[in-house]
Amino acid sequence: MNLDMALTMNPQVTSAFSYTRERSQTEVREWILDIFLDKIYDVDTKTQKFLRDVSLKEAIDTRLSTLEIEKPIREIVQSNKGLVHDKTYLHLESLKKAIRSYRDAFDITMNYVRKHMYKTEWKSMEKICIEDYIFQTQRRRYVTAREELDKARQAVRDGQWEEVLNHLRPAIDLALKEKFGFNYIHMKPFLDYSREHNELNLPSIDLIYFMFDEGSGRLHQGKINTPLECKSALEFVARFIDELDLITVSKEEIEEFKRKCNSVR
């Protein structure tokens, strides 16, 4: 959906001004290669890892492959006619079809896994550690944020529940700063403003606000979040950062937001 909107509903991509058009098309290309395609590879990598972990990698005649997805992406990005031309929309439809095919193959594969699990009383699941699957694999972006996520994950494994949110809140702060180029965020006023004017299209505001507000309150009162709360928070923040990757906001929109919101610099 985000790629479709970036190509079909972004007037800057087809602007009559060559400078604006070239800059916008460059930004979309970078987004496709650095975020969209990375997300595809991440999903596939985790799927293949899961099949290996449950010892079914060789047993399943899987048709899961990213090759058919990569082909239309190359056609869209590498065309010497620019990002948007007469065949772009045909390639976009081919991409949608390839993603649907991958999803269908994924569903068929997971149904086979589920059937096998019932037959073996879910013994293979004993080897699965869920925290290994809720992080983006080898991402270049948000390095410091993901370092905090790794520390939170380790705290979960060690049962150090009092430490989990102490790493998750900085992870959110660092990811937002890198995504939008902020040097400073006064988080609660920033979230209050974003509740009224979500100009940055944040994937979540209320849950992030809850984590900062409730988390700070508990910290001051000496209360510790339960294991379930910590694990749920860890999964949510990892997904929040992944979703943050997929947001497309222009530099002009970010600068306008900074002028309006005095809680960021």
Give the pLDDT confidence of 195-224 residue by residue, as tens digits. 888 889 898 898 888 887 765 555 545 566
- Residue 61, pLDDT > 70, answer no
Q: How many CB atoms lie within 10 A of CB 14?
A: 16
Comparing CA positions, the residue from 25, 33, 5 lying closest to residue 83 is 25
Share above pLDDT 70 across residues of the chain, in percent, rounded to a whole number: 75
- Rounded to 5°, the CA angle 209-212-218 comes to 130
Predicted pLDDT of residue 59:
62
Phi (first) and psi of residue 225, to 5 degrees: -65, 150
Identify the residue whose tokens are 């947001």.
247
pTM of the model: 0.52
Which whole number is the average pLDDT over 181-192? 89
Would you state the pLDDT for residue 1?
A: 58
Mean of pLDDT over the chain: 79
Q: Collapse the DSSP code of 139 into the 3-class scheme (helix H, G, I; strand E, B; otherwise coil) and give the result.
A: coil
| Dist CA 91 CA 97 (whole Å) | 10
On whether the CB atoms of residues 246 and 36 are closer than 8 A, the answer is yes
Each residue of 105-134: pLDDT tens digit? 888 888 888 888 888 888 888 777 776 676
Specify the pLDDT at position 239.
Answer: 85
Q: What is the mean pLDDT of residues 70-88?
A: 73
The answer for residues whose C-beta is within 8 angstroms of residue 135's C-beta and 6 or more apart is: 146, 149, 150, 153, 238
Q: Which residue has the higher pLDDT, 1 or 147?
A: 147
Q: Say if residue 13's pLDDT is above 70.
A: no
Residue 102: count other Cβ atoms within 10 Å of its Cβ.
21
| Helix locations, the chain, DSSP H | 2-8, 18-31, 37-53, 67-78, 88-119, 143-158, 161-180, 187-196, 206-221, 227-246, 251-260
